[in-house]
Amino acid sequence: MRLTRLLFLVAVALAMLVLVWQVFREFGEVTSRGAEGERVAATSSDATPGSVAPGSVSDPAARSTRPQELLDVLTPEIEVDPLFVDSYPVDSQVRLNTWESLKLSVGHFDVLTAGSVSHAAGKDGQTVLLVARGWTGETQMGMRLQDVFLSMCGLIVARANVVQDRPDVARLVHPNLLRSGWVARIYPGDLPSCGDATMSAWAIVPGNPARLARLNVTHKVPETDFHSIGDLRISSQSDVTSLTYPSPGPRKVTVIVRSAVPARIAILSVRSMVATTLRR
């Protein structure tokens, strides 16, 4: 087991080195193209005040040709970081009835709350997130489970990874369920509209196929003063099916956030491989 984990960590380190090299290469190419465009704008005899040189960092056409997985914040006056959430975009949500269900005692959906987080693209520098919390695990034998779905209006709207310690569950339910806690950050704009604004939680029980088991307690979705932040909201969760689970795991997203002076690169790996290692 120790040798397997060591080999996995070595593979993770090598993958991260390759990722960093690719990001710095991309950053160098973008910076070079941007500097060349700015020189053209400064030296062109046809340039007029307020004009934009084709291909420069301020040219909308140039921005639209960049890879979609890279987010460049090009306004030098403000830096805006992406907001990572556990909810699925509307076009990625699947119907709950595409999964079979089991009747098992597998945990509790503790709470669903609404709160504000700081974000420059939000209203008055704030945006609203819903936070769902609970625990999961098979209570008789103490079998640990790895993931939880959240559903609403018959759709799977979010996924949470079971990575938190719950000493209370280990003490009161089963000693093997210390690592049974989960938390999901949910973007209100991802939630569907229907007559019943109730959210349920479901543990994913491995198998062929994997099945769902409902957690105790459901919660009404609180009303919020929601303000969209558009494309700056990024889901950290991958789509899974009953036949492919547990693959794929949480998404790994590389984001470049750059200001004019000084240049800054932030590489954010969503739900990093370290979290995956800890679950093993």
| Residues contacting 113, CB < 8 A, separation 6+ | 130, 131, 222
- Quick one: DSSP state of residue 262? S
- Minimal CA–CA distance to 184: which of 201, 168, 171? 201
Q: Is the pLDDT of residue 50 over 80?
A: no
Overall average pLDDT of the 238-249 stretch: 87
Distance, in Å, from the CA atom of 158 to the CA atom of 228, rounded to the nearest integer, reads 18
Q: Could you tell me if 205 and 104 are in contact, meaning their C-beta atoms sit under 8 angstroms apart?
A: yes
| β-pair partners for 87 | 158
Q: Is the pLDDT of residue 49 over 50?
A: no
Distances (CA, A) of 29 to 42, 114, 124, 252: 20, 42, 35, 22
68 CB burial (10 A radius; 0-12, 13-18, 19+): exposed
pLDDT of the residue at 119: 66
The residue written with tokens 């991260």 in the block is: 16
State the Cα angle at 113 between 112 and 114, rounded to 5°.
Answer: 140
Helix (H, G, I), strand (E, B) or coil at 140: coil
State the Cα angle at 228 between 132 and 110, rounded to 5°.
Answer: 5
Q: Give residue-wise pLDDT tens across range 103-152.
A: 998 999 999 999 877 766 666 667 889 999 999 999 999 999 999 999 99
Q: For the chain, percent helix, then strand, then coil, each to nearest 5?
A: 25, 30, 45
Q: Report residue 123 as tokens.
A: 């209203």
Overall average pLDDT of the 221-241 stretch: 84
Q: Is the pLDDT of residue 241 over 90?
A: yes
Q: Is the pLDDT of residue 34 over 60?
A: no
Q: Give residue-wise pLDDT tens across range 184-194.
A: 999 999 999 99
- Strands (DSSP E) along the chain, which ranges? 83-85, 101-102, 107-123, 126-136, 147-152, 155-165, 179-186, 198-205, 211-214, 219-220, 233-235
Distance, in Å, from the CA atom of 174 to the CA atom of 138, rounded to the nearest integer, reads 9
More confident residue, 245 or 16: 245
Q: Give residue-wise pLDDT tens across range 54-98.
A: 333 333 333 333 333 333 333 333 345 788 899 999 999 999 999
